[in-house]
Structure 1
């Protein structure tokens, strides 16, 4: 078996630079590079190219581009009868961009494997939210936040980052309401990053990295800057 190329180390520069995603390692699968910054410029350039950060405290910034890639096409969301009933009769209120900081805090503490959402990562995504790229979905019971998710919107692609639940199905309700919002705005794709059985049951599927990057090229033809006010809304009351 041929040796893998060495991992690319990125400089701590203001202008982002990433190697071609086809240089990502086979083991660990999809690891592309280390270093760089978590500034909005670096994060947005990464997302445009199908690259996302994922690392733990004590590690350098690690950038990933897995092959295959887990994605959800908005028209392929599967809502089972039990979930449809929860949406109709669960007594939830669902909002967009009403509590971004609270959602990311909950994801860091309540999501299984959520320890990778470090304080540095939280600050980075809060900065994206302030610029109109980072978005959250909140599911409420009365005044209590019981579920939600957050991610990044660039062009017509939503890059999902994490979700959490304090009640059964609350994160699924968040995703279902987000999909309806995105469909109405002609979004082409939701990036789920890694395969999980949970996402597969909801209709997400694996596609090749080359197909994924081709979809990005066609769907990220403009970047809606400063769109937070357009997202700050109530989806279900």
Structure 2
């Protein structure tokens, strides 16, 4: 994570980790179900990775420096970093930036440009991770927004146990031999 000036990168690790459940503990507001039923958004993977990174970094105070953007791009080229995006027509509505390792998805950041864009991305990402056999969705830190989706805290010790189990899985975030994948909302 970059410091406030964006000059120095530091490693951050907390005593607790926030996880998004990939089981029946995952939930979302009823009002969001109405949005999902309207099919206003389509979902894509890595359609515009750079725009998602830029969207996540576009804040008054951001930890995503220019150097981190370059690192994410390199990780993306190596097949580790991904963007899970929502689109409304040809406009990027929102997205989630993350790193996929085995059966673990480590969510780095999320953003929206169109209301409900990141919330729909969250629901659809959980569905995607479940369908691909992922065991862990690491949100790192919780906040009231993530708690509405069932985010919960585990100790660092429990997190390491879960992470060790998850990274040993053979899950593919994208379909074999695909760089970009687009699917309509179901």
What is the TM-score with the length of structure 2 in the denominator?
0.89
> Which residue in the other structure is 1:83 paired with?
32
Q: Which segments of structure 1 move beyond 4 Å, counting only runs of 4 or more?
A: 222-228
- Equivalent position to 2:12, from 20, 40, 64: 64
> Which residue in the other structure is 2:45 paired with?
96
> Which residue in the other structure is 2:161 paired with?
214
Aligned partners of 1:67 and 1:209 also within 8 Å: yes
2:60 and 2:84 map into 1 onto residues whose CA distance is 18
1:127 and 1:101 map into 2 onto residues whose CA distance is 11
1:231 and 1:88 map into 2 onto residues whose CA distance is 28
2:7 and 2:66 map into 1 onto residues whose CA distance is 13
2:52 and 2:82 map into 1 onto residues whose CA distance is 10
Aligned partners of 2:44 and 2:86 also within 8 Å: yes
1:116 and 1:184 map into 2 onto residues whose CA distance is 31
> Which residue in the other structure is 2:78 paired with?
131
Deviation at 1:79, TM superposition (A): 2.2
> Which residue in the other structure is 2:126 paired with?
179
Unaligned runs of 5+ in 1: 1-52
Aligned partners of 2:132 and 2:172 also within 8 Å: no
Distance 1:106 1:58, change over 3 A: closer
Aligned partners of 1:160 and 1:192 also within 8 Å: yes
1:177 and 1:153 map into 2 onto residues whose CA distance is 16
Distance 1:206 1:225, change over 3 A: closer
CA deviations on 1:37-70 (whole Å, 9 max, x unpaired) are xxxxxxxxxxxxxxxx453435432111111111
Of structures 1 and 2, the larger Rg is shown by 1
Distance 1:78 1:231, change over 3 A: farther
Secondary structure of 1:70's counterpart equals strand
1:112 and 1:176 map into 2 onto residues whose CA distance is 27
1:189 and 1:226 map into 2 onto residues whose CA distance is 13
Aligned partners of 2:43 and 2:184 also within 8 Å: yes
Equivalences for 1:182-197 in 2 at 5 Å? 182-197=129-144
What is the TM-score with the length of structure 1 in the denominator?
0.71
Deviation at 1:131, TM superposition (A): 0.7
- Structure of higher RCO (CA pairs closer than 8 Å, 6+ residues apart): 2
RMSD: 2.2
Deviation at 1:223, TM superposition (A): 6.9
